[in-house]
Each structure stands twice: as C-alpha cells, then as structure tokens.
C-alpha cells in the first residue's frame, strides 16, 4: 500500500513541476500574446485534473489492498490456520509483545493459537495466570511480581476481548505486553473491531471443521472411522519419517464377536462395541489415537512410542477389560498385534504387519498379543 501511494505522489509532483515550468515560460512570453497565457492555464488545469485522478486511483488501490488483507483473514476454512492468522493480526494491529486466541472448536473441543510466546495453548486457561510467568501477587489491569522471583521479561499487561458469534461468546482474544500499562482504550477498540470482523469467518471454519470431524468419526463408537484411521496413520508415519522418532501401532480384534451378534442380534453387538471403544479411550494416553478399523477391529496409533512402551498400553487395556462387565456378554476377550514402524516403511506396510500379528494371535488360541518389534 505504501509503495502505491508513494508512486502516486511522485507522479503528481513530477506533473506539477512540469506544469510549473511550462507556466513560467509562458508567463514570460505574455507580451507575445494573451492567448498563450490562457492556454498555459488550461494546460495546468489538465495536469491538476490528472494528478487528482492518479491520487484517487492510488487511494482506491491502497484501500483494496487493505480490504484484501482483512478479507484474507476469513478466506480460509482451516480453523487452526485462521486462529494463527488472527493471533498474528491482533499482535501486529496493536503492537503487542504476544497474542493468543482460544475458541470452541469442532465437537466442542478447544482450539487455540498464539504468537510471541511459548505454550500458547495455556495462555487463556485461567483468568489469573499470565503466560511464562512466576506466581504473581496482585492483579488489576496489570500483573505485578515480587522482587527477585525471576520475573525479568515476564508479561505485565493483558488485554482480553470476547469473541462473540450470533450473540454467543465462543472464545477470547488476548494481547500481552511486557510493559506495565501497555494497552489503552484505542487498543481495546482495535481488538474489538478485529473480533467482530473475524466472527463470521470463525463460524464458517468451525462448521467446516465439524463436517470434517463427522466424516472421519465412527457414528457408532465415536472414535475415528476407517477413513480417519488411514489419514492419521499416514500423517503419523510421515511425522516419524521426518523426525526420526518412534511410532507404534496396536491392532485389536474382539474374539468370537460373531457369536455375540448371533445370540443378541446386532443391537446387542453394537452396545458391546460402544463399551469396548470406551475402554480403549480410557486405556489410551492423551497423545494416542483410537480408531475403529472396521467391524470388531480397532486400532491405537501411538506416536513417539517404542514397542516396549506400547506393550504397557496393551497390558493396561487387558486389565481394564478383564474387570469390566460388558452388556449381555459379561466378560470380553480380544487378540492383538503390536508393531513398531521401520525406517522408510509405508503406512500400508505397517498396517499389514500389525494385521498379520493379529491373525497369528487368533491362530495361536486367541486372547493374546503377538509382537513384531525391532
């Protein structure tokens, strides 16, 4: 935008200079004829009109650039990307040291992003806690700290505005400053305007995220479906390849499940599947990914996990299942296969090795774990 206006002003000044020189020359020649002077005035008027048009077009282009920048903030349907852009824009708009945003995401999960501070997902968890700071003693419009408590570089000012969509508060936008009293009323108005501008984009991105979540969620059990499993496994394999970190995959197959369907019909079998999926969720760690691979087959993807650690998850699940009284059937048993990703191995190969382990467990008497580890 600045380059456009600068170019326009340069063109205008050049035109004025040329017109001025012409006017002076013609003014000196007034004795020759009065008509020449009138022509010079007309020429100057034309130049001034051209200057005015140039400046109008430059301002229109500048406004267009600003408008496109603001519009770009809501042009993405990727909720995470939109939150990153929003946090960056909030920080830049009021000159804050850091900014963060936290909103209700798809499925009522929490989505957040931050710039200028580590641990952005924790920036808005508590109203009284400033990020990256020791416990503080007082709170008004700023945080104050006791001397000698390592508060150098801590945030001392915060400015929070709500994010409101259709009259409902769905999150908050916050700016942080390391100077006391860093923010004033004009900063608050700027954030309020930004929050209002981005509200429709947030609503659209959330709807899109919700649609994507439903597309990869098993309607019966609430865990990821086969599509979600394939996508997550491919993503984690790519990450393991990129970071050279371990990755484990645990596949599980309920033993004699066809007998459950025969005895209690499909509604009874469905209830057992729902209860087993809940056991999987409870046994899995926060970073693990629980999926329904198909039918009575389930999977747990274990990022950043070697085979020996993954065996602990299988053992924990077996203890939990053994102590659970499932609907209709009482006790439930399952066979499982555990594999660890090999360098340069494809997601399909990893899945096939785990499935082969499950098949071996079935052939070997069921209710057992078969390993394929380095």
Half-sphere exposure of 230 (CA within 13 A, CB side): 6
The answer to whether the CB of 87 falls within 8 A of the CB of 195 is no
Burial 111-120 (b: 16+ CB within 10 A, else e): bbbbbbbeeb
Same domain, 33 and 171: no
The Cα 241–Cα 255 span in angstroms is 34
Same domain, 237 and 368: yes
Q: How far apart are the first and last CA of the chain?
A: 58
Same domain, 101 and 46: no
pLDDT, averaged across the chain:
80
Same domain, 28 and 155: no
Same domain, 188 and 309: no
Domain end residue (candidates: 159, 180, 215): 215
Same domain, 180 and 94: yes
Domain end residue (candidates: 72, 100, 123): 72
- Count structural domains, the chain: 3
Same domain, 359 and 265: yes
The Cα 84–Cα 98 span in angstroms is 12
Residue 221 lies in a domain: no
Phi, psi for residue 180 in degrees, rounded to 5: -65, 140
* Residue pLDDT, tens place only, 297-323: 999 999 999 999 999 999 999 999 999
* Average pLDDT rounded to a whole number, residues 102-116: 83
The residue among 313 and 131 whose pLDDT is bigger is: 313
Q: For residue 106, what pLDDT is reported? A: 78
Q: Which of 61-75, 101-115, 138-152, 244-258 has the highest mean pLDDT?
A: 244-258
Residue 220 lies in a domain: no
The residue among 1 and 257 whose pLDDT is bigger is: 257
The Cα 316–Cα 326 span in angstroms is 17
The Cα 180–Cα 155 span in angstroms is 8
Indicate which CATH number applies to the domain containing 169. Answer: 3.30.450.40
* Average pLDDT rounded to a whole number, residues 258-284: 92
Strand pairing class (369-372; 334-340): parallel
Strand pairing class (168-177; 143-144): unpaired
Q: What is the DSSP letter of 326?
A: B
Domain end residue (candidates: 51, 72, 93): 72
The answer to whether the CB of 28 falls within 8 A of the CB of 46 is no
**Lowest-pLDDT range of 51-65, 114-128, 186-200, 265-279:** 51-65
* Average pLDDT rounded to a whole number, residues 152-166: 85
Q: What is the DSSP letter of 106?
A: G
Same domain, 94 and 159: yes
Q: For residue 64, what pLDDT is reported? A: 45
Kindly tell me if the per-residue pLDDT of 337 is higher than 70.
yes
Q: For residue 51, what pLDDT is reported? A: 47
Indicate which CATH number applies to the domain containing 261. Answer: 3.30.70.270
Greatest Cα pair distance, the chain, in angstroms, is 119
Same domain, 186 and 314: no
Same domain, 60 and 186: no
Residue 187 lies in a domain: yes
CA-based nearest residue to 257, from 353, 317, 326, 355: 326
Q: For the whole model, what pTM was predicted? A: 0.61
Same domain, 196 and 135: yes
Range of the domain at 53: 2-72
Q: Among residues of the chain, what percentage have pLDDT more than 70?
A: 72
* Average pLDDT rounded to a whole number, residues 213-220: 92
Q: Where are the alpha helices (DSSP H) in the chain?
A: 2-28, 34-72, 79-94, 185-215, 226-243, 257-283, 307-322, 347-363
* Residue pLDDT, tens place only, 27-51: 554 444 455 445 544 554 554 555 4
Phi, psi for residue 357 in degrees, rounded to 5: -65, -40
Residue 321 lies in a domain: yes
Q: What angle do CA 85, 88, 89 make, to 5 degrees?
A: 85
269: burial class by Cβ within 10 Å (0-12, 13-18, 19+)? buried
* CA atoms 103, 106, 107, 109: torsion sign: negative
Same domain, 64 and 89: no
């Amino acid at each position: 935008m600045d380059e456009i206006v600068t170019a326009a002003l340069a063109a205008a000044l050049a035109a004025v200079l040329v017109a001025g020189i012409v006017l002076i020359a013609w003014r000196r020649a007034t004795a020759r004829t009065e008509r020449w002077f009138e022509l010079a005035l007309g020429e100057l008027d034309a130049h001034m009109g051209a200057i005015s048009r140039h400046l109008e077009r430059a301002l229109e282009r500048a406004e267009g650039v600003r408008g496109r920048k603001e519009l770009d903030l809501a042009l993405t349907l990727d909720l995470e990307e939109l939150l990153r852009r929003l946090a960056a824009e909030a920080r830049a708009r009021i000159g804050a040291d850091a900014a963060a945003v936290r909103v209700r995401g798809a499925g009522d999960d929490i989505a957040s992003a931050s710039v200028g501070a580590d641990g952005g997902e924790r920036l808005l968890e508590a109203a009284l806690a400033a990020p990256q700071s020791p416990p503080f003693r007082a709170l008004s419009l700023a945080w104050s700290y006791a001397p000698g408590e390592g508060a150098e570089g801590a945030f001392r000012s915060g400015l929070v505005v709500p994010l409101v969509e259709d009259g409902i508060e769905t999150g908050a936008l916050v700016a942080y400053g390391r100077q006391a009293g860093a923010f004033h009323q004009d900063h608050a108005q700027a954030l309020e305007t930004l929050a209002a501008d981005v509200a429709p984009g947030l609503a659209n991105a959330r709807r899109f995220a919700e649609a994507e979540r439903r597309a990869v969620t098993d309607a019966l059990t609430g865990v990821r479906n086969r599509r979600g499993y394939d996508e997550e496994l491919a993503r984690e394999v790519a990450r393991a390849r990129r970071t050279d970190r371990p990755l484990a995959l645990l596949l599980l197959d309920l033993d004699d499940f066809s007998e459950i369907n025969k005895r209690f019909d499909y509604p009874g079998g469905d209830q057992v599947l729902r209860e087993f999926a809940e056991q999987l969720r409870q046994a899995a760690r926060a970073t693990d990914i629980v999926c329904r691979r198909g039918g009575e087959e389930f999977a747990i993807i274990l990022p950043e996990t070697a085979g020996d650690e993954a065996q602990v998850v299988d053992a924990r699940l077996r203890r939990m299942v053994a102590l659970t009284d499932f609907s209709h059937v009482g006790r439930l048993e399952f066979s499982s296969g555990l594999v660890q990703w090999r360098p340069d191995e494809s997601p399909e190969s990893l899945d096939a090795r785990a499935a082969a382990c499950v098949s071996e467990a079935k052939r070997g008497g069921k209710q057992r774990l078969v390993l394929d580890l380095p």
